[in-house]
Structure 1
Amino acid sequence: MAYWLFKTEPDTFSIDTLRTQNISCWEGVRNYQARNMLRDEVKVGDLVLIYHSSCKDVGVAGIAKVVKEAYPDHFAFNVESDYFDAKSSPDNPRWFMVDIAFERKLSRVIPLAKLKAMSELEQLPLVKRGNRLSVMPVSEEEWQAILHQE
């Protein structure tokens, strides 16, 4: 089992949205490095920290579990979707998504400022300047350190 952090803007999709849906596809990843991790490394049973970004309470908000491995992101084929990509097709998909299931909402959001102050997380891409990845690996030690802050 591996650990991940998935970033989302809660106005679009939040841990509460996932709790309501119970299972959801994680679509719309449009960065090649993040896509490659989704496609090649994220596996069923992996645990995911759901991270809220671009909002008032930026930080880790909950936990999900991967329940379906990578498959083509069909939103890329839909001209009416915000995630449409004319260069992606069902025969030659450019983008992929996974399905995740709600595990739990944290008792409080663990803020980015707190995460940045933790020496155990100095190698975590999230706390490094300029990181824009929406999908990133988290070591078991980092996972435990983050959840210890709850």
Structure 2
Amino acid sequence: MRYWLIKSEPNKWSWEQQKAKGDAGEEWDGIRNYLARNNMREMKLGDRAFFYHSNIGKEIVGIAEVCKEIHPDSTTDDPRWECVDFKAVCDMPKPVTLADVKAEPRLEKMSLVTSMRLSVQPVTEDEWKLICKMGGLDG
């Protein structure tokens, strides 16, 4: 299993909306950045992702899971753009803020810190475990 972080502005697509989709999940569509798209191409069923509210809140609020691997993005006819589907797994008991991440020296190389604008990012296993612990989960 690999780990990721996906970002969404909560006024456009929130964690609550993601949870409401249930086990069917939802396309992670509208990504128009090649690196973010390429990260989705690497995802496999069952991979986990932190769901991060960007711009408003700036915090990890939940954990999602890949429930459908790479496929054409339904929001465009341009074949360059693909996406995966995610379903909600669980809330983060204590949301982990960007400030919390930046204050933790062991996370200084995390993509959330070094590539803040990238909307789909890899997360290492050590980063995953530490953030889960920070958020009140076992990992």
TM-score (norm 2): 0.92
Is residue 2:112 matched to residue 1:126? yes
Q: SS at 1:131's partner residue?
A: coil
Which residue does 2:26 correspond to in 1?
Answer: 24
Which structure 2 residue ranges, 5 or more long, are not aligned? none
Structure 2 residue 103 is matched with structure 1 residue 140: no
What is residue 85 of structure 1 aligned with on the other side? none
Taking only aligned residues, the RMSD between alpha carbons, in angstroms, comes to: 1.0
SS in 2 for 1:145: helix
Query: In the comparison of the two structures, how many residue pairs are matched?
Result: 133
What whole-Å deviation, never above 9, does each CA across 1:70-129 have from its counterpart, x for those lacking one?
00102012xxxxxxxxxx1xxxx110110111101112321100000111111111112x
Max radius of gyration: which structure?
1
If the length of structure 1 is used for normalisation, what is the TM-score? 0.85
Secondary structure of the equivalent of 2:5?
strand
* Match of residue 93, structure 2, among 87, 103, 107: 107
**Tell me, which stretches of 5 or more residues in structure 1 are unaligned?**
78-87
Instruction: Give identity over the alignment, percent.
Output: 41
- Which aligned segments of 4 or more residues in structure 1 are displaced greater than 2 angstroms? none
